[in-house]
Amino acid sequence: MWERAEMRGGRRSGSRTDFEVIPAVDIKGGRCVRLRRGCEHDVIFEGDDPVVAAERWLAEGARRLHVVDLDGALRRGRNLPIIESIVELAAGYSARVQVGGGVRSRDDVATLLKMGADRVIVGTIAIRDRELLKRLVEEFSDGIMVALDSLRGEVVVGGWKERTGLRTSVFARELEALGVKSLLFTNVEADGTLSGVDAAAIKEVVDAVGIPVVAAGGVSTLNDIRRIREAGASGVVIGSALYMGRIKLRDALREAME
């Protein structure tokens, strides 16, 4: 058994960690899809039933899923019945589900948590309504995860189209000070591109805070997963690399344990 060591950023330095490999299940029009850089018209993968995709990753050993309601994010309805089915399926595997996309109110958060989601991801709220974010954190604690969508070190919102002028690492510290318990850092320029990860950008955010940081965007090889671990992240969300066959989930899970 490995001994716990001191916290360094979002990771325990010098110890075996519970580094998570988290398959993504993005839902659009009732189907499982992958978009390039979040552009709704640039679909690089389109499957069928998101529940079937979720079951595949769970059966292969995933202990957490990352589910995004793209229709909710685009204000084109919600996929709550599909999400509920995925959450129920995951419970049968003793796995957890984090859900994002279109979360705009306290009721949206409460609905997803009551459904059984382990944590709900909020993004624009964190920028535009700090008071609401503070109330959400006070009420739901670690049930709230904040998305840090970053473009060249700057936080972006509004479907990754709106620049904020906020340095990602600085904003991460502000969120931690508000009581946020976990962050999802996404390199939006690389998301869905299979172009590799920006380990330095991940490390900058990890080193800025003492809470877990999950990284996403650009993963295409097992070495990318290794670099994210070495940067100190607590986990990685993988989407396109799994769906396009670049990485096998069992290999990614093995890499997470080494």
pLDDT per position as a tens digit, 150-172 = 998 899 886 656 677 899 999 99
Distances (CA, A) of 159 to 24, 150, 174: 17, 12, 22
* Residue 207 is a catalytic residue: no
Residues contacting 177, CB < 8 A, separation 6+: none
Instruction: Write down the catalytic residue from 26, 71, 118, 198.
Output: 26
Lowest mean pLDDT among 15-19, 26-30, 176-180: 15-19
Identify the pLDDT of residue 160: 56
Architecture of domain 19-257: Alpha-Beta Barrel (3.20)
| Rounded Cα gap, residues 101 and 224, in angstroms | 25
Q: Which residue has 């552009």 as its token pair?
A: 39
φ, ψ of residue 107 to 5 degrees: the values are -65, -40
Whether 119 and 142 have beta carbons less than 8 Å apart is answered as yes
Sign of the four-CA dihedral 225, 141, 62, 44? negative
Residue 115 binned pLDDT confidence (cut-offs 50, 70, 90) = very high
198 is a catalytic site residue: no
Instruction: For tokens 């595997």, name the residue.
Output: 93
Most confident listed range (14-18, 55-59, 194-198): 55-59
Range name among 28-32, 45-49, 62-66 with the lowest pLDDT average: 45-49
Instruction: Answer whether 0.85 is exceeded by the pTM.
Output: yes
The answer, yes or no, to whether residue 42 has pLDDT greater than 70, is no
Residue 6 pLDDT class (50, 70, 90 cuts): very low
Distance in angstroms (rounded) separating the CA atoms of residues 213 and 203:
10
Average pLDDT over residues 232-255: 96
- Which of the residues 71, 108, 118, 149 is marked catalytic? 149
Report the pLDDT averaged over residues 10-23.
64
Q: Give φ, ψ of 178 to 5 degrees.
A: -80, -10
Q: Structure tokens of 53?
A: 């995709």
pLDDT of residue 192: 66
Name the phi and psi angles at 14, rounded to 5: 85, 15
User: What is the rounded distance in angstroms from the CA atom of residue 211 to the CA atom of residue 181?
Assistant: 6
Residue 140 is given by DSSP the state: H
Per-residue confidence (pLDDT) for residue 38, from 0 to 100: 58
Q: Can you tell me the distance from the alpha carbon of 238 to that of 64, in angstroms, rounded to the nearest whole number?
A: 11
- Distance (Å, whole) CA 99 – CA 22: 12
Query: Band of the pLDDT at 47, cuts 50, 70, 90?
Result: confident
- Across the chain, mean pLDDT equals 88
Query: Could you read off the pLDDT of 62-108 as tens digits, one per residue?
Result: 999 999 999 988 878 899 999 999 999 999 999 999 999 999 999 99
Domain regions of the chain by residue span: 19-257
Classify the phi-psi angles of 194: left when phi > 0, otherwise alpha if psi is within -120 to 50, otherwise beta. Answer: left
Which range has the top average pLDDT, 15-29, 32-46, 100-114, 160-174? 100-114
Q: Please report which confidence band the pLDDT of residue 17 belongs to, taking 50, 70 and 90 as the band edges.
A: low
pLDDT at 100: 96
The reported pLDDT for the residue numbered 258 is 81
Beta bridge partners of 147: 184
